[in-house]
Protein backbone atom coordinates (compact mmCIF):
# COMPACT_ATOMS: atom_id res chain seq x y z
CA UNK A 1 0.00 0.00 0.00
CA UNK A 2 2.87 2.31 -0.82
CA UNK A 3 1.88 5.97 -1.02
CA UNK A 4 -1.37 5.56 0.92
CA UNK A 5 -1.86 7.13 4.32
CA UNK A 6 -2.30 5.00 7.41
CA UNK A 7 -5.93 6.13 7.60
CA UNK A 8 -6.61 4.91 4.06
CA UNK A 9 -4.80 1.63 4.78
CA UNK A 10 -7.06 1.06 7.77
CA UNK A 11 -10.15 1.72 5.63
CA UNK A 12 -8.89 -0.75 3.01
CA UNK A 13 -8.47 -3.42 5.68
CA UNK A 14 -12.00 -2.77 6.95
CA UNK A 15 -13.37 -2.93 3.39
CA UNK A 16 -11.52 -6.20 2.81
CA UNK A 17 -13.08 -7.67 5.94
CA UNK A 18 -16.54 -6.73 4.65
CA UNK A 19 -15.79 -8.54 1.38
CA UNK A 20 -14.49 -11.62 3.17
CA UNK A 21 -17.61 -11.77 5.33
CA UNK A 22 -20.11 -11.08 2.52
CA UNK A 23 -22.08 -13.91 0.93
CA UNK A 24 -23.38 -11.97 -2.10
CA UNK A 25 -21.12 -8.99 -2.89
CA UNK A 26 -21.48 -7.06 -6.13
CA UNK A 27 -20.03 -4.02 -7.86
CA UNK A 28 -21.76 -1.07 -9.51
CA UNK A 29 -19.51 0.95 -11.82
CA UNK A 30 -19.86 4.25 -13.63
CA UNK A 31 -17.82 6.35 -16.03
CA UNK A 32 -15.19 7.23 -13.43
CA UNK A 33 -13.71 3.74 -13.52
CA UNK A 34 -12.89 4.11 -17.24
CA UNK A 35 -11.41 7.62 -17.31
CA UNK A 36 -7.94 6.21 -16.47
CA UNK A 37 -8.32 4.16 -19.67
CA UNK A 38 -8.74 7.34 -21.69
CA UNK A 39 -12.52 7.34 -22.00
CA UNK A 40 -14.09 10.67 -20.96
CA UNK A 41 -16.99 10.74 -18.56
CA UNK A 42 -20.16 12.67 -19.25
CA UNK A 43 -20.52 15.23 -16.51
CA UNK A 44 -17.13 16.49 -15.30
CA UNK A 45 -16.89 20.25 -15.63
CA UNK A 46 -14.92 21.22 -18.73
CA UNK A 47 -14.00 17.68 -19.80
CA UNK A 48 -17.25 15.72 -19.67
CA UNK A 49 -19.02 14.97 -22.93
CA UNK A 50 -22.12 16.88 -21.86
CA UNK A 51 -20.02 19.95 -20.98
CA UNK A 52 -19.13 20.24 -24.67
CA UNK A 53 -22.38 19.18 -26.34
CA UNK A 54 -26.08 19.49 -25.67
CA UNK A 55 -27.02 15.90 -24.88
CA UNK A 56 -30.50 15.97 -26.33
CA UNK A 57 -29.21 17.42 -29.59
CA UNK A 58 -26.70 14.69 -30.32
CA UNK A 59 -27.43 11.55 -28.29
CA UNK A 60 -31.20 11.21 -28.25
CA UNK A 61 -33.15 8.47 -29.99
CA UNK A 62 -35.20 11.04 -31.92
CA UNK A 63 -32.07 12.78 -33.19
CA UNK A 64 -30.60 9.46 -34.28
CA UNK A 65 -33.75 8.65 -36.22
CA UNK A 66 -33.96 12.02 -37.99
CA UNK A 67 -30.32 13.06 -38.16
CA UNK A 68 -28.09 9.97 -37.84
CA UNK A 69 -25.18 11.74 -39.54
CA UNK A 70 -25.05 14.32 -36.72
CA UNK A 71 -25.06 11.55 -34.12
CA UNK A 72 -22.27 9.65 -35.87
CA UNK A 73 -20.22 12.82 -36.29
CA UNK A 74 -20.39 13.37 -32.53
CA UNK A 75 -19.91 9.66 -31.79
CA UNK A 76 -16.82 9.18 -33.96
CA UNK A 77 -14.12 10.36 -31.49
CA UNK A 78 -15.80 8.55 -28.60
CA UNK A 79 -15.99 5.34 -30.65
CA UNK A 80 -12.28 5.57 -31.40
CA UNK A 81 -11.44 6.10 -27.72
CA UNK A 82 -13.50 3.06 -26.75
CA UNK A 83 -12.12 0.83 -29.49
CA UNK A 84 -8.54 1.78 -28.57
CA UNK A 85 -9.03 1.54 -24.79
CA UNK A 86 -7.60 -1.18 -22.59
CA UNK A 87 -8.74 -2.18 -19.10
CA UNK A 88 -6.95 -0.29 -16.34
CA UNK A 89 -5.91 -1.71 -12.95
CA UNK A 90 -9.37 -1.00 -11.50
CA UNK A 91 -11.09 -3.20 -14.08
CA UNK A 92 -8.48 -5.91 -13.56
CA UNK A 93 -8.87 -5.78 -9.77
CA UNK A 94 -12.63 -6.28 -10.10
CA UNK A 95 -12.07 -9.20 -12.48
CA UNK A 96 -9.62 -10.74 -10.00
CA UNK A 97 -12.19 -10.49 -7.19
CA UNK A 98 -14.78 -12.16 -9.39
CA UNK A 99 -12.49 -15.00 -10.41
CA UNK A 100 -11.68 -15.65 -6.75
CA UNK A 101 -15.38 -15.88 -5.86
CA UNK A 102 -15.72 -12.54 -4.11
CA UNK A 103 -18.25 -11.03 -6.56
CA UNK A 104 -21.62 -12.32 -7.70
CA UNK A 105 -21.93 -9.81 -10.54
CA UNK A 106 -20.83 -6.49 -11.99
CA UNK A 107 -23.50 -3.92 -12.80
CA UNK A 108 -22.14 -1.19 -15.07
CA UNK A 109 -23.44 2.04 -16.52
CA UNK A 110 -20.62 1.94 -19.09
CA UNK A 111 -20.82 0.86 -22.72
CA UNK A 112 -17.07 0.34 -23.22
CA UNK A 113 -16.81 -3.46 -22.69
CA UNK A 114 -13.72 -2.97 -20.51
CA UNK A 115 -15.00 -5.22 -17.73
CA UNK A 116 -15.31 -8.08 -20.18
CA UNK A 117 -11.90 -7.31 -21.67
CA UNK A 118 -10.46 -7.50 -18.16
CA UNK A 119 -12.00 -10.93 -17.62
CA UNK A 120 -15.13 -10.19 -15.58
CA UNK A 121 -18.10 -12.50 -16.04
CA UNK A 122 -21.79 -11.90 -15.32
CA UNK A 123 -21.58 -8.24 -16.35
CA UNK A 124 -24.97 -6.50 -16.39
CA UNK A 125 -24.84 -3.59 -18.86
CA UNK A 126 -27.47 -1.04 -17.84
CA UNK A 127 -26.90 1.44 -20.66
CA UNK A 128 -26.25 -1.03 -23.44
CA UNK A 129 -22.99 -1.91 -25.14
CA UNK A 130 -20.82 -0.90 -28.04
CA UNK A 131 -20.00 -4.54 -28.71
CA UNK A 132 -22.91 -4.85 -31.16
CA UNK A 133 -24.91 -2.82 -33.69
CA UNK A 134 -28.49 -3.45 -34.81
CA UNK A 135 -30.23 -2.66 -38.06
CA UNK A 136 -32.94 -0.02 -37.71
CA UNK A 137 -35.01 -1.71 -40.42
CA UNK A 138 -34.66 -5.51 -40.26
CA UNK A 139 -33.18 -5.63 -36.72
CA UNK A 140 -30.28 -7.91 -37.72
CA UNK A 141 -27.54 -7.66 -35.09
CA UNK A 142 -23.84 -7.46 -35.92
CA UNK A 143 -20.57 -7.52 -34.04
CA UNK A 144 -19.53 -3.89 -33.98
CA UNK A 145 -15.76 -3.93 -34.46
CA UNK A 146 -15.65 -4.45 -38.26
CA UNK A 147 -18.29 -1.79 -38.87
CA UNK A 148 -16.95 0.74 -36.37
CA UNK A 149 -13.38 0.26 -37.63
CA UNK A 150 -14.50 0.89 -41.21
CA UNK A 151 -16.49 3.94 -40.09
CA UNK A 152 -13.48 5.38 -38.28
CA UNK A 153 -11.42 4.92 -41.44
CA UNK A 154 -13.76 6.23 -44.12
CA UNK A 155 -16.43 8.18 -42.20
CA UNK A 156 -19.31 6.34 -43.87
CA UNK A 157 -22.24 5.58 -41.58
CA UNK A 158 -22.50 1.81 -40.88
CA UNK A 159 -25.24 0.11 -42.89
CA UNK A 160 -26.86 -3.31 -42.80
CA UNK A 161 -25.36 -5.76 -45.26
CA UNK A 162 -28.82 -7.31 -45.78
CA UNK A 163 -31.10 -4.32 -46.33
CA UNK A 164 -28.74 -1.31 -46.46
CA UNK A 165 -30.55 0.45 -43.60
CA UNK A 166 -28.51 2.40 -41.03
CA UNK A 167 -27.07 0.46 -38.09
CA UNK A 168 -27.53 1.80 -34.58
CA UNK A 169 -25.03 1.07 -31.80
CA UNK A 170 -26.73 -1.03 -29.12
CA UNK A 171 -26.28 1.71 -26.53
CA UNK A 172 -29.12 3.41 -24.70
CA UNK A 173 -29.74 6.90 -26.03
CA UNK A 174 -31.77 9.65 -24.38
CA UNK A 175 -35.44 8.81 -24.84
CA UNK A 176 -34.85 5.05 -24.83
CA UNK A 177 -35.88 2.73 -22.04
CA UNK A 178 -33.30 0.71 -20.18
CA UNK A 179 -33.01 -2.90 -21.38
CA UNK A 180 -35.70 -4.64 -19.34
CA UNK A 181 -33.85 -7.93 -18.79
CA UNK A 182 -30.75 -6.12 -17.54
CA UNK A 183 -32.80 -3.86 -15.27
CA UNK A 184 -34.71 -6.75 -13.70
CA UNK A 185 -31.49 -8.70 -13.21
CA UNK A 186 -29.76 -5.68 -11.64
CA UNK A 187 -32.64 -5.10 -9.22
CA UNK A 188 -32.65 -8.74 -8.17
CA UNK A 189 -28.87 -8.67 -7.64
CA UNK A 190 -29.07 -5.47 -5.58
CA UNK A 191 -31.88 -6.83 -3.40
CA UNK A 192 -30.01 -10.09 -2.78
CA UNK A 193 -26.66 -8.42 -2.12
CA UNK A 194 -25.26 -7.98 1.37
CA UNK A 195 -22.41 -5.77 0.10
CA UNK A 196 -22.32 -3.33 -2.80
CA UNK A 197 -19.14 -1.63 -3.98
CA UNK A 198 -19.84 1.51 -6.03
CA UNK A 199 -16.92 2.63 -8.20
CA UNK A 200 -16.67 5.76 -10.32
CA UNK A 201 -20.33 6.71 -10.25
CA UNK A 202 -21.78 10.01 -9.09
CA UNK A 203 -25.08 8.17 -8.47
CA UNK A 204 -26.99 10.94 -10.25
CA UNK A 205 -28.63 8.99 -13.08
CA UNK A 206 -31.88 7.26 -12.21
CA UNK A 207 -33.03 4.57 -11.99
CA UNK A 208 -29.59 2.96 -11.64
CA UNK A 209 -28.63 5.43 -8.89
CA UNK A 210 -31.32 3.88 -6.71
CA UNK A 211 -29.84 0.38 -6.77
CA UNK A 212 -27.57 0.87 -3.72
CA UNK A 213 -30.66 1.79 -1.69
CA UNK A 214 -32.12 -1.63 -2.45
CA UNK A 215 -29.05 -3.20 -0.86
CA UNK A 216 -29.00 -0.80 2.10
CA UNK A 217 -32.72 -1.17 2.81
CA UNK A 218 -32.22 -4.91 3.28
CA UNK A 219 -29.38 -4.48 5.74
CA UNK A 220 -26.47 -4.71 3.31
CA UNK A 221 -23.22 -2.79 3.44
CA UNK A 222 -22.07 -0.08 1.03
CA UNK A 223 -18.54 0.93 -0.01
CA UNK A 224 -18.10 3.93 -2.32
CA UNK A 225 -14.98 4.70 -4.37
CA UNK A 226 -15.55 8.02 -6.11
CA UNK A 227 -13.62 11.27 -6.27
CA UNK A 228 -16.73 13.45 -5.89
CA UNK A 229 -19.45 13.18 -3.28
CA UNK A 230 -22.64 11.17 -3.84
CA UNK A 231 -26.04 11.37 -2.16
CA UNK A 232 -25.25 8.09 -0.36
CA UNK A 233 -21.93 9.04 1.22
CA UNK A 234 -23.75 9.53 4.52
CA UNK A 235 -25.13 5.97 4.34
CA UNK A 236 -21.93 4.23 3.25
CA UNK A 237 -19.83 2.11 5.61
CA UNK A 238 -16.68 3.40 3.89
CA UNK A 239 -16.02 6.17 1.37
CA UNK A 240 -12.79 6.41 -0.64
CA UNK A 241 -11.99 9.50 -2.70
CA UNK A 242 -8.77 8.09 -4.15
CA UNK A 243 -8.44 7.24 -7.85
CA UNK A 244 -10.03 3.86 -8.49
CA UNK A 245 -7.11 2.62 -10.59
CA UNK A 246 -4.82 3.16 -7.58
CA UNK A 247 -7.12 2.07 -4.79
CA UNK A 248 -8.91 -1.02 -6.14
CA UNK A 249 -5.75 -3.08 -6.75
CA UNK A 250 -4.81 -2.50 -3.11
CA UNK A 251 -8.28 -3.49 -1.95
CA UNK A 252 -8.26 -6.63 -4.10
CA UNK A 253 -4.81 -7.56 -2.80
CA UNK A 254 -6.02 -7.23 0.78
CA UNK A 255 -9.17 -9.28 0.10
CA UNK A 256 -7.29 -12.03 -1.72
CA UNK A 257 -4.21 -12.38 0.46
CA UNK A 258 -5.76 -15.00 2.76
CA UNK A 259 -7.93 -16.66 0.11
CA UNK A 260 -11.41 -18.04 0.67
Backbone torsion region of residue 14, taken as left when φ is above 0, otherwise alpha when ψ lies between -120 and 50, otherwise beta: alpha
CA atoms 214, 215, 216, 217: torsion sign: positive
Catalytic residue among 91, 115, 127, 221: 127
Distances in Å between the Cα of 154 and the Cα atoms of 141, 142, 144, 241 are 22, 19, 15, 42
140 is catalytic: no
Q: How far is CA 105 from the centre of its chain?
A: 12
C-alpha dihedral over 117, 123, 127, 132, to 10 degrees? Answer: 50
* Contact by Cβ (8 Å): 30, 109: yes
β-bridge pairing 167-171 and 141-143? unpaired
Catalytically active residues are 127
Amino acid sequence: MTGLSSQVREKIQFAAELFQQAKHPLVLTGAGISTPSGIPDFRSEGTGLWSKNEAMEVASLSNFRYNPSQFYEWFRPLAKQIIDASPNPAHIAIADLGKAGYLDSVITQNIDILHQKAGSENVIEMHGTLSTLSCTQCFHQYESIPFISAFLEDGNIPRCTDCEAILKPDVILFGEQLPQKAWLKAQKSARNSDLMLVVGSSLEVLPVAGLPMQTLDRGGHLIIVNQSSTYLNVRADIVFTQDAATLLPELAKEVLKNGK
